[in-house]
Amino acid sequence: MQPVVQQNAVVARIASIDLMRGIIMLIMAIDHVRDFTSPFPYDPTDLSQASAGLFLTRWITHFCAPTFMFLAGTSAFLYARNTGVDRAGLQRFLVTRGLWLVFLEVSWNSFMWRFAFDGIQLQVLWALGWAMVWLALMLYLPLRGIVAVALILVFGHNLFDGIHPQDFGGEHTVAGWAWAIVHEPLDAHTASGFEILAFYPLVPWIGVMSLGYAFGQVLQQPALQRARFMHWTGLSMIALFLLLRLTNFYGDQMLWQSNPRGALYTALDVLDVSKYPPSLQYLLMTLGLVLLLLPSLESARGRFAQAISVFGRVPMFFYLLHVPLIHGIGVIGQLALYGKVTNTLRDHPALPDSYEPSLLRMYAVWLLVVLLLYPLCRWYADYKRRHKEQWWLSYL
């Protein structure tokens, strides 16, 4: 009976990860639908103007990048366990897949975000790719060494918040550009006007993926033991977040303060932490709640959970398709309503005078996107399940 119990435990663990990834992918699409179909003329986290609904619509998407990065590391651990590859084999896989993701970011994904070749967007695939290359190097260390280096990166990177590319001569110098790529967002233009946007500085994302890899070891434990670990670790992270946040002591460049709009907006200000670059407080808040939620997903059953898990089984496939679909819907909508297309990704887009942003419209388009992509994702998930022998499926 023991082998059967262990097999069921493994299935439950993988199912919970698929379900969590599916939830995250669907939440991520909310933010991108807003970008293309219902942009607001101000930052959704600007609590001097944004409504509570708009702020929370943006805030919930903060959980996507950390969870995606963390579980990508966990997937690397599970890949080695399930395929039986040795360290060298896993390193080769991580390096090749990581460089493939970087290539997809600067080619397919950059074009689909812009529908033009006038710049590149170095976003989550960029960070994921280089984090995989970094993890391949970290595999030379024992697991405790990997965790130690990762914790130093995650907890220590805010010590350098006072250093900026200008201290190295600006973003147009090699040293300034390198610092921006590593530690803070970059928005630069070449002499010809070609734009380089780097929203995901590599530190501490590379640390987050390494911690996710180590988390794979936790998933090897019996159900009660791993649930206890996730419960107490998640609570500890939330408690540390609140301590650092409420005292404004360390871990985020944006300090919270009392909001003149009232207690609700003051509470929201506490949650308004920095994603670009991801602060320590941001990572504690997001990953802490994810760890608290994961144990409950192990027992999730039913058609609804299965449907969401479909997206979690093919996250990269979903990611590569959802941007052109959403962007295309936005273009069609603008042409139909206004007879012209406006770039909605700028801070203050020059939208027509008759334009009005709408969260209701945004969620309606989001639902349409989910319904359109579900059959494609289900087909691809089934294809991957039936053709596990095809090596290239691990790269998409």
pLDDT one-digit tens code per residue, 320-338:
999 999 999 999 999 998 8
Structure confidence by residue, pLDDT tens digits, 263-306: 999 999 999 999 999 999 999 999 999 999 999 998 888 999 99
Copy the structure tokens of residue 283: 């990572």
Q: Taking the CA atoms of the chain, what radius of gyration do you get in angstroms?
A: 21
**Side chain identity at residue 68, one-letter code:** F
Backbone torsions φ then ψ of 198, nearest 5 degrees? -125, 95
173 phi-psi bin (left φ>0, alpha ψ -120 to 50, beta other): beta
pLDDT of residue 177: 86
What's CA 369's distance to the chain center, in Å? 19
Backbone torsions φ then ψ of 121, nearest 5 degrees? -115, 110
Which one has a higher pLDDT value, 63 or 396? 63
pLDDT of residue 190: 81
| Coil vs helix vs strand at 396 | coil
Distance CA 375, CA 396 (A): 17
Sign of CA dihedral 379, 382, 386, 388: positive
Structure confidence by residue, pLDDT tens digits, 38-47: 999 889 999 9
Q: What is the pTM of this model?
A: 0.93
pLDDT of residue 228: 96
Cβ(68)–Cβ(128) below 8 Å: yes
**Sheet containing 119-122: order of strands:** 119-122, 195-198, 186-189
Mean pLDDT computed over 361-385: 97
pLDDT of residue 188: 83
pLDDT of residue 6: 39
Least confident stretch, 46-55, 202-211, 225-234, 381-390: 381-390
**Domain coordinates in residue numbering, the chain:** 17-395
Backbone torsions φ then ψ of 349, nearest 5 degrees? -65, 145
Backbone torsions φ then ψ of 195, nearest 5 degrees? -95, 140
* Residue 244 in this model has a pLDDT that exceeds 90: yes
